[in-house]
Structure 1
Amino acid sequence: MTDLKDVAQLAGVSRATAARTFASPDQVRPATREQVFAAARELGFRPNLLGRQLRLQTTNLIGVVVPNLLNPVFAEQFQAMERAARLRGYSLLLATTDYSTERESIVVEELLRQRVDGLVLTVTDAESNSVLNSLTSEQTPFVLAYHQPSNPNYSAVSVDNRAGMALATRYLLDAGHRRISMVAGPALQSDRARLRYAGYCDAMRAYGLKRRAVIEMPAHTQAEFAAVEPFLQGPQAPTALVCSNDFLAISLIAELRRNAWNVPEQLSVMGFDGIALGTQMHPTLCSVVQPIGLLASTVIDQLLAQIAGNAPISHCLPCHIRPGDSTQPLEETPDARVQ
């Protein structure tokens, strides 16, 4: 049976170098790494990682839980985290929940059974979540991505969702809009959407304007014209819509244009996330940008620090407006203000 010694001999390196090539390939010179891998392929050798994991009581695996991959923000986050984790010798296992709290419990248990060393979680609601309570009591390392939990025992990395949406709403207000509504998924199930609605209300109140009820869509990332059409009629119809996430905004623009509404000429639309897709559409999407790459690397750093025994900490990252063609200034008379 072929073993590591045979691979090292064929590759012309020491056994220790061959072992390091498989354990930490980024720490070996590319030419040496290719020699070892070529020898392994020729001999049909693959290292037994399970034995090493059992000896060290670690798997170098991180479990990642996100609502779905339909929203590109989570796909971009996962790709950036995978790069950051790989540089540190870790691999990722991914699970999705479709915004179901029951599913969150199931997939977290499945990942723990695979002996992941820690978890990165984006859940529906971080404020009342039995899974997080259990992980804390069991001292399982985890970091929340995009959440701003009030519990100091939770480690989290996010932007300030409330301040970010206030920034977006002020951007529209400064552009002359006064009749602004927010569009979000079902019943603001997401704690992030609730914070963003609070930020919208903050900005409207600061301008002496009455907040409007959320225009609710049947899904977090999918708009339906039938759900928004009733709000577009009459003298108090909104001139601008701010969406709880970019993918919802992109879907909404498509629905509006299919139904003969011009964006931004008749209705300005703004998103929240700053996904790359927003810059590749027409009109380009105006959005609040979350630094997804920085968030991903910070999440991995914080989780590995917890795995090493450090206490949970949280970071709130800066966000900014990315201008786009989906909004435009509006000239409106003062009597259009809704007190």
Structure 2
Amino acid sequence: MATARLRDVAERAGVSIRTVSNVVNGYAHVAAETRQRVEKAVAELGYRPNLLARNLKRGRTGMLALVVPELDVPYFSELARAVIAEARQYGYTVVIDQTDGEPDRERELIMGGASAARFDGVILSPLSLSQADLAQRVGSDPLVLLGERIAESPYDHVAIDNVAAAFSATEHLFDLGRTRIAAVGDQPYDTGETAQLRTRGYRDAHAARGVPVDESLIVATHRFHLSDGAEAMAALLDHTDGPPEAVFCYNDLLALGAIRTLLTRGLRVPEDVAVVGFDDIEAGRYNTPTLTTISPDKTQIAQLAVERITRRLDDALEDPPVELWAPHQLVVRESTVGH
């Protein structure tokens, strides 16, 4: 069967080729009844626009870059899936790269030049970039930052409220009657802003309950991996005052690693130690016990980031950069309340 052409759609809908092009390209100034006729003809004929030709005409590549620290951290792979699905709605292909949090790699991927010229826009979750790095960026292609905001950044930013989320997680443990609550995942160094905000929320929850923070129960980790959580939990179990009553872990991998150590040491979750994670990755929903966690709306994060790039491209948007907040919620499961 021959591939349907723009002309075929126009003839079926009884409109001009230009009108079909306007509908397919999403231009607003088309009468609703005309738009419906064209969309019906597109569906009936199975017409597929030539995205490559369209992008070349616009001087674009039709590709967006998504740059994350670590693809093998499930939060980022699940986020990547959401970004790909959202970008597809706009006719974009997503190319993914990882930086391992290395400053030179992050700078390389935002600075323009031959590699960056392949992309119409970049969505970046940085660990090491500074305000000075961003100020040196060349090129006019849109950049959207994910995660923690770099002070006075000249670029759009999408995040969740990490302080409020950590407060909610810790408050949940207090509500269960646990008062000796540990925190696993603090990162008291320059690239650890996300962790530091979660520590702030943990501290704020203690202050709200009038419970002093035991500094020895805040355990720093270099990364947010399973092994880091397992090792941190082992250190807490060897604490001179005995194990904590509950643990708030700064991501789900830390929490799953912590649970493994608890179980191998003969402790029960949540009867002996309740555990909360962060990110709501798929593995946590199928763990034994299932994992109570903070669930950031990854779909909304992807939608906000992609929409911001397409607006700056299609509308030539030159408004000042904006900070956009995606919602989050506490999902209560077996690791804190049992079966």
Say yes or no: TM over 0.5. Answer: yes
For residues 69-80 of structure 1, the aligned pairs below 5 Å read: 69-80=71-82
| TM norm structure 1 | 0.78
Whether the aligned pair in 2 keeps the contact of 1:242 and 1:271 (CA below 8 Å) is yes
Q: 2:101 aligns with which of 92, 99, 102?
A: 99
The 3-state SS of whatever aligns with 1:223 is helix
Quick one: which amino acid aligns to residue 116 of structure 1?
Answer: F
Number of the residue aligned with 1:120? 123
RMSD in angstroms over aligned alpha carbons? 3.2
**Deviation, structure 1 residue 264:** 1.5
Q: 2:237 aligns with which of 232, 238, 246?
A: 232
CA gap 1:226/1:249 in 2 versus in 1, 3 angstroms: closer
Give me the whole-angstrom Cα distance separating, in 1, the residues matched to 2:145 and 2:222.
25
**Deviation, structure 1 residue 199:** 1.0
For residues 84-163 of structure 1, the aligned pairs below 5 Å read: 84-109=86-111, 112-125=115-128, 128-135=130-137, 138-151=139-152, 153-163=154-164
- Between 194-203 and 182-191, the greater mean CA deviation after superposition: 182-191
For residues 1-339 of structure 1, the aligned pairs below 5 Å read: 10-11=2-3, 13=5, 29-30=42-43, 32-33=45-46, 49=52, 53-109=55-111, 112-125=115-128, 128-135=130-137, 138-151=139-152, 153-184=154-185, 187=188, 189-208=191-210, 209-213=212-216, 214-224=218-228, 225-233=230-238, 234-235=240-241, 237-307=243-313, 308-310=315-317, 311=319, 312-328=321-337
Q: Which runs of 5+ in 1 are unaligned?
A: 1-6, 38-46, 330-339
CA gap 1:155/1:57 in 2 versus in 1, 3 angstroms: same
- Between 177-186 and 162-171, the greater mean CA deviation after superposition: 177-186
Whether the aligned pair in 1 keeps the contact of 2:101 and 2:128 (CA below 8 Å) is no
Q: Which runs of 5+ in 2 are unaligned?
A: 11-16, 27-38
**Deviation, structure 1 residue 171:** 1.0
The 3-state SS of whatever aligns with 1:103 is helix
**Deviation, structure 1 residue 195:** 0.8
What are the superposed Cα offsets for residues 235-261 of structure 1, whole Å, 9 maximum, x if unpaired?
Answer: 354211111112221222223323433
Give me the whole-angstrom Cα distance separating, in 2, the residues matched to 1:77 and 1:106.
22
CA gap 1:164/1:30 in 2 versus in 1, 3 angstroms: same
Give me the whole-angstrom Cα distance separating, in 2, the residues matched to 1:164 and 1:226.
24
Give me the whole-angstrom Cα distance separating, in 2, the residues matched to 1:138 and 1:281.
45
- Between 245-254 and 169-178, the greater mean CA deviation after superposition: 245-254
Give me the whole-angstrom Cα distance separating, in 2, the residues matched to 1:231 and 1:178.
15
**Deviation, structure 1 residue 280:** 1.6
Whether the aligned pair in 1 keeps the contact of 2:275 and 2:292 (CA below 8 Å) is yes
Give me the whole-angstrom Cα distance separating, in 1, the residues matched to 2:281 and 2:181.
23
Whether the aligned pair in 2 keeps the contact of 1:302 and 1:313 (CA below 8 Å) is no
**Deviation, structure 1 residue 144:** 1.3
Quick one: which amino acid aligns to residue 236 of structure 2?
Answer: F
The 3-state SS of whatever aligns with 1:84 is helix
CA gap 1:30/1:159 in 2 versus in 1, 3 angstroms: same
CA gap 1:258/1:133 in 2 versus in 1, 3 angstroms: farther
Give me the whole-angstrom Cα distance separating, in 1, the residues matched to 2:302 and 2:6.
36
The 3-state SS of whatever aligns with 2:334 is coil
Give me the whole-angstrom Cα distance separating, in 2, the residues matched to 1:157 and 1:94.
18
What are the superposed Cα offsets for residues 76-111 of structure 1, whole Å, 9 maximum, x if unpaired?
Answer: 211111111111111111101122222212344578
What are the superposed Cα offsets for residues 168-219 of structure 1, whole Å, 9 maximum, x if unpaired?
Answer: 1111112111111111165554321111111111111222222425312343
Whether the aligned pair in 1 keeps the contact of 2:102 and 2:128 (CA below 8 Å) is no
Number of the residue aligned with 2:14? none
Quick one: which amino acid aligns to residue 219 of structure 2?
Answer: I
Quick one: which amino acid aligns to residue 224 of structure 2?
Answer: H
Whether the aligned pair in 1 keeps the contact of 2:187 and 2:193 (CA below 8 Å) is no
**Count, aligned residues:** 307
**Deviation, structure 1 residue 138:** 4.3
Give me the whole-angstrom Cα distance separating, in 2, the residues matched to 1:111 and 1:212.
49
Q: Which gives a bigger RCO, structure 1 or 2 (Cα 8 Å, sep 6+)? A: 1
Give me the whole-angstrom Cα distance separating, in 1, the residues matched to 2:114 and 2:63.
10
The 3-state SS of whatever aligns with 2:46 is helix
Number of the residue aligned with 1:44? none
Number of the residue aligned with 1:4? none
